[in-house]
Amino acid sequence: MINIILPVDFGEKTDQLVDGAVKFAKEVNGKICLIHVAPTDIGFAIGDMGYQYFPEVEENEIREELVLLNKINQKVLAHGVECEHILKQGIAKDIILEYSDLKNASYIVMGSHGRSGIYDVFVGSLTKGLTKSSKIPVLVLPIHE
């Protein structure tokens, strides 16, 4: 069985991305390895006293993201595809590439939606970064409105 890395950000198009990845996993008899990369600045705020860190904010956010990640994991399993999940903090591109090495993955599956710039509108800046740096194929699924 091949491992397929599926980074998720819990955005509005996550369900479409997961559905496409499940379909692909079924076609290649693959296992989905879900990953969500949370930023390292969760819990930091700028106030009157400068930067302040609120560990309870970070803990709550991470707890909520783990719940969402578990729901996606259960959805994948309900479609008959083997699945596992992990949440890490750091720089998304670096963490995803490290995780793909760790899992000896054959593919990374990403969505085509983006946030800025003409290229990024069609592909996405994280997807662009992964396609440039990955040693394994990055499958870009079209995500439409």
106-139 pLDDT, tens digit each: 999 998 764 444 434 444 588 888 989 999 999 9
Closest by alpha carbon to 99, among 89, 80, 64?
89
Residue 24 has what pLDDT? 98
Residue 106 has what pLDDT? 98
Residue 127 has what pLDDT? 84
Give the DSSP H or E segment for 93: helix 92-102
Q: Is 20 helix (H, G, I), strand (E, B) or coil?
A: helix
Closest by alpha carbon to 65, among 8, 5, 143, 145?
8
Closest by alpha carbon to 112, among 102, 104, 120?
120
**Interacting residues of 95 by C-beta distance below 8 A, sequence separation 6+:** 35, 37, 88
Residue 55 has what pLDDT? 65
Q: What is the mean pLDDT of residues 34-59?
A: 73
18-42 pLDDT, tens digit each: 999 999 999 999 999 999 998 876 6
- What is the pTM for the complete model shown? 0.85
